[in-house]
Chain A
Amino acid sequence: MSFALTLKARLFDRTSNESLMLRYAQSGDRALLCKLYDTCGNDLFHFVLTLSDPTLAKDICQKTWLKVIEKKHLYQHSGQFKAWLFTLARNQLIDEFRRNKHNINHTEQLIDCEQNIEVSLDDKNVGAVFDHALLSLAFEQREAFCLQQEGFTLQDIASITHCPVETVKSRLRYAKDSMRKVLNKHCGEQND
């Protein structure tokens, strides 16, 4: 029984993102990078897309993965690969915002979204309402919510966003309350 568990743990460890990244850092094997991308590529893109726009998200994702290729030797075994990847992406995004003096709460997008939601609400499109609720959140609350949905712990989120755990808790509480309110307001029956 214990042997089977050990074997399973070893096999699992070998296919984990961390193991793949370590092996990629040593060998530079293209297949390993491909596996890592297949595992985390969509998660990363969705995270960055939620915090920016499709064009910038694509750009940031490319830059982040290129950084993984170029800085693979800097990956620390102690850390979770996905957390490292998301930290790289977030830092790139913040740099991009600073460079372009971008308002991180980008109101234009919200206005567009607001117009779309009026149309969608007629169709009782819960997805559109959820999008509206998510995008209307403050940047910090949105990123905290997204990171939690991606499976990160409070400690991980605090580490990625460079803020205390209590602040993360507070942001998450506000984010969820705000989204619940929007969802209940526009499609209360469906949400329940």
Chain B
Amino acid sequence: MTKLNQHSDDALEQHYAKRKRQHTAPASIKRQILAKQQDNQSITYIFRRIGYVAVAASTLLLMSLLLIQQSDQVSPTINYQIVQLHTLDTDTENVSDSISNRYAKHYNNYLAQKKTYAAHHKSKAVLHLVDGNWQLKSCDNKVLQLSSELIAALSNIQRIDTQISSGDEVIIAFDQTGIILGITRSGNHLRC
């Protein structure tokens, strides 16, 4: 841009600015715009208030509908069972004492069962079939006659080996009172 053009552009700018100062916007435009803005704001405010009221009313309506629905629901008839108490447990032991006692009791039972099982596990004998009856002959020449009921009972609880035959060496399990708990075939030969 030449210096002359620059000077000319500056002159144009000055003339334009001067013209602009002479032609300002009428005050009525601003008045009308601000009045319209006020109306607009009022309408917005009213609509906002209506919105709030509508939300509050619908919430109340919803809540009342829910309450009505709940109250309309038929409550199931409760059949009370009458229990007559004749005695009351006066034992005032608490829950932990009760649990401790039960645990001790069960542990003692377990130890007793273990002791029983260990004590009678070692009895060995030879199985013989004599006149249709099963007999067990131990090393100390004791002969135990097995009734058919006992064999059937042991078979039911699967505590007798079904594969054993006459002449087999077996292990007999007894309980504390001497009752036979199970008969299984022994892998080893009986040595008395």
Contact = CB atoms under 8 A, between A and B. Distances in A.
B11 interface: yes
A46 B19 contact: yes
Nearest to A44: B25
Interface stretch (A13-21, A59-67, A95-103): A59-67
A44 B20 CA distance: 10
B32 A62 contact: yes
A169 interface: no
Measured as residues with beta carbon below 8 angstroms from the partner, the interface class of chain A is: 20 to 34
- Contact-size category for B: 20 to 34
Interface in B1-33: 7-9, 11-13, 15-20, 22-26, 28-30, 32-33
A69 B26 CA distance: 19
Interface string A11-43: 000000000000000001010011001000111
B30 A45 contact: no
Contacts of B40: 28, 69-70
B155 to A, nearest CB: 91
A189 B17 CA distance: 20
B26 A46 contact: no
Nearest to B8: A180
B30 A127 contact: no
Contacts of A62: 29, 32-33
Given A28-B44, A149-B16, A176-B9, A49 B23 contact: yes
Given A127-B18, A127-B19, A42 B24 contact: yes
Contact of A43 (B9, B13, B20, B36): B20
Contact of A45 (B19, B29, B41): B29
Contacts of B41: 28, 30
Contacts of B8: 176, 180, 191
A70 B41 CA distance: 11
Contacts of A42: 20, 24-25
B36 to A, nearest CB: 6
List the 10 closest A-B pairs by CB distance, nearest first.
Answer: A45-B25, A130-B15, A65-B33, A149-B16, A46-B20, A41-B25, A42-B24, A42-B25, A46-B23, A30-B37
Interface of A: 28, 30, 33-34, 37, 41-46, 49, 58, 61-62, 65-66, 69-70, 126-127, 130-131, 134, 146, 149, 176, 179-180, 183, 191-192
Interface of B: 7-9, 11-13, 15-20, 22-26, 28-30, 32-34, 36-38, 40-41, 44
